[in-house]
Amino acid sequence: MKKLRYLSIVLGIVFSYTVAAQIVSPGGADYANKTYNSDVNDSTFIFTYFFSSISDNNKTPTLKARSMGNSPANFNWYRFDRTTKTVEPTPFRTDIDVTESDVTFPSGGEGGYLVVIETEEIIDTFRAWLFYDIIRTDSVSYTQNCEYLQLTAYASSNRNNFSAYDYSDFCDLNSVKERYISNNYTVEWNSDINIYEELPNVPQSWKKRINSMVTRISSANEPSDADRPLVPGLSAPFRAASYSVKITNVFLNTTEEYKTEPIPAMGLYAAFDVLVPDDYGVFVPTKNLSGEALWRMKLENKSINADRFEWTGWNDQTINFLQNDTLWRYYTENIPDEINYKPGSYPVKLSVENTRTGCRHSSYALDAGGKRKDIDVAKSAFSSESLPNAFTPNGDGNNDFFTFVKGQEPVSMRTMNLKIVTRNGTLVYKYKGEVSAWEGWNGKMNGNGSDCSSGVYYYIISGEGWDDKSYSGKSYTGVLHLYRGN
């Protein structure tokens, strides 16, 4: 049997009367449509009544036929016999010399009908089917693991075949063709809360798992296309929730909402923020995971549904926690309160577990696009061009210190040794220590004595990077002009 090609759907019921002969169902049908029959270049009308049960007496199905131009006519009504697959030869109702005729079915009556309308000029024939439609959701079951939640809605119907509505097109009293209406249906799910909120740092690869949750509708005669996606959905919810379901069939008959008891969540998600100090020394989250040594950071756990944590990436060590799960927040953890990275590339990873369910998940540090990003600490870099060849320590607030040229500061340097001497070799200033701690030379003898006079000086500088690379020799000497001005 081939599937039908539907024409327009009419909700409400009545196909409007015109001067042409018509058949309608004015008894309160919930759905009306018609299917085209190419064998006779005509249509078969479909009228459907929604019932809560077969014994529902709230509606009385009715078929009404009217003659062309409201001319007096004879109406003969025939019933289709499903058993013999023929139209009964004797009409079950006849109305003589009237303009319209109607039949009601207070009990039973589902099936196919043919009405022959005969006037002095013409004979009209109409075919119609009455369907009584009952559909309900009886129960919902679920299965879940660490990766997904699958919901199954069990529905019941008054149809013998849940996936199709069988009917027959009878072109005349002797020609019958089997047909069916495919019972396409939709399944609408909702949850009483947002089961995916509060998900920080979700990578793009995880977002692609949207709509991967699956729901099923089952019955005694399960449809072949039973799998339907649950919308919206991630593979595994992260919060316990109740789920409600509505099922709508081909006649747009929708079940009452069925709500489940709360279903516990097994979704597990590993996530963390990388924090670095701002200009005021306050640690704030960042997605810029590159810098120079010593690169300082803290790691703040943002995982969901986990109770065991394992961090990897601090000087190639792995650290396990059960409760104090954020690095480095508690001084009582007997480890540094922050991480100081030397030059190199460091994969920072958090692995989490839920000890009750056995579910595990892990995540690396992520960049602004949600992709894995190792922490890259630059190699040391230092040159004589990092220092200027002149400065003016006259107290005007402009160029008062001999210090590194802005934008050309040394990178990832640990220590330096600086000496400044006059033309005859007299030492006027020296510094030895951490590069980051040097504030520059203010032009005074030893940095705190009397002002050195204007003139030409020489500097000799050496240093060592955090990667143990040494910088010294003639490449790191230079001439320095000190100007006091008027």
β-sheet bridge partners, residue 130? 47, 111
Look at 261-275, 319-333, 385-399, 463-477 and tell me which has the smallest mean pLDDT: 319-333
Q: Give the pLDDT confidence score for residue 3 in this predicted structure.
A: 28
Out of 127-131, 148-152, 331-335, give the one with best mean pLDDT. Answer: 127-131
Percentage of the chain modeled with pLDDT above 70: 80
Ramachandran angles phi, psi of 204, nearest 5°: -60, -35
pLDDT beyond 60 at 229: no
> Within 10 A of 391 (CB to CB), how many other CB atoms are there?
21
Q: Give the pLDDT confidence score for residue 216 in this predicted structure.
A: 61
Tens digits of residue pLDDT in 433-466: 999 899 999 999 998 889 999 999 999 999 999 9
Out of 168-177, 182-191, 313-322, 476-485, give the one with best mean pLDDT. Answer: 476-485
Q: Give the pLDDT confidence score for residue 1 in this predicted structure.
A: 25
Q: Token digits for 213?
A: 């949750």
Find the angle CA(4)-CA(8)-CA(11) to the nearest 5 degrees: 115
Out of 122-131, 316-325, 347-356, give the one with best mean pLDDT. Answer: 122-131
**Predicted TM-score of the model (pTM):** 0.65
Strand intervals (E) in 2-160: 22-24, 31-37, 42-50, 62-66, 73-81, 86-87, 93-98, 100-104, 111-118, 123-133, 135-144, 149-157
Q: How many helices (H) and strands (E) does the chain have?
A: 1, 36
Query: Within 163-294, where are the H helices?
Result: 204-207
Nearest alpha-carbon partner for 274 in 374, 407, 379, 140: 374
Q: Token digits for 201?
A: 């740092």
β-sheet bridge partners, residue 298? 275
Is-contact 376 411, C-beta < 8 A? Answer: no
Rounded CA-CA distance 128/118 in Å is 17
Q: What is the mean pLDDT of residues 332-361?
A: 76
Query: Which residues lie closer than 8 Å to 446 by C-beta, 6 or more apart?
Result: 428, 429, 430
Nearest alpha-carbon partner for 361 in 319, 323, 309: 309
pLDDT classification of 222: cutoffs 50, 70, 90: low
Tens digits of residue pLDDT in 173-219: 567 788 888 888 888 888 887 776 656 555 544 444 433 445 566 65
pLDDT beyond 80 at 27: no
Q: What is the mean pLDDT of residues 389-411?
A: 91
pLDDT beyond 60 at 231: no
pLDDT classification of 375: cutoffs 50, 70, 90: confident
Mean per-residue pLDDT over the chain, rounded: 79
Going by the DSSP 8-state scheme, the letter that residue 381 receives in this structure is B
Q: What is the mean pLDDT of residues 361-379?
A: 86
Q: Give the pLDDT confidence score for residue 100 in this predicted structure.
A: 94
Q: What is the mean pLDDT of residues 294-319?
A: 75
Q: Give the pLDDT confidence score for residue 151 in this predicted structure.
A: 81
Q: Give the pLDDT confidence score for residue 185 in this predicted structure.
A: 81
Percentage of the chain modeled with pLDDT above 90: 29
Q: Give the pLDDT confidence score for residue 173 in this predicted structure.
A: 58
> Within 10 A of 232 (CB to CB), how many other CB atoms are there?
14
Nearest alpha-carbon partner for 50 in 82, 35, 28: 28
Using DSSP, state whether 95 is helix, strand or coil.
strand
Nearest alpha-carbon partner for 381 in 467, 252, 268: 467
pLDDT beyond 80 at 319: no
Q: Which domains does the chain have, with CATH numbers?
A: 22-133 (2.60.40.10), 136-158+183-259 (no CATH), 272-378 (2.60.40), 384-482 (2.60.40)
Q: What is the mean pLDDT of residues 35-56?
A: 80
pLDDT beyond 50 at 240: yes
Q: What is the mean pLDDT of residues 106-133?
A: 89
pLDDT beyond 60 at 331: no
Nearest alpha-carbon partner for 229 in 205, 201, 247, 210: 210
pLDDT classification of 427: cutoffs 50, 70, 90: very high
Q: What is the mean pLDDT of residues 230-252?
A: 74
Q: Give the pLDDT confidence score for residue 166 in this predicted structure.
A: 84
Tens digits of residue pLDDT in 274-303: 888 888 888 888 888 998 888 888 888 888
Q: Token digits for 70?
A: 């409201």
Longest Cα–Cα distance of the chain, Å, equals 137
Q: Which tops the pLDDT comparison, 235 or 162?
A: 162
Q: Token digits for 133?
A: 């439609």
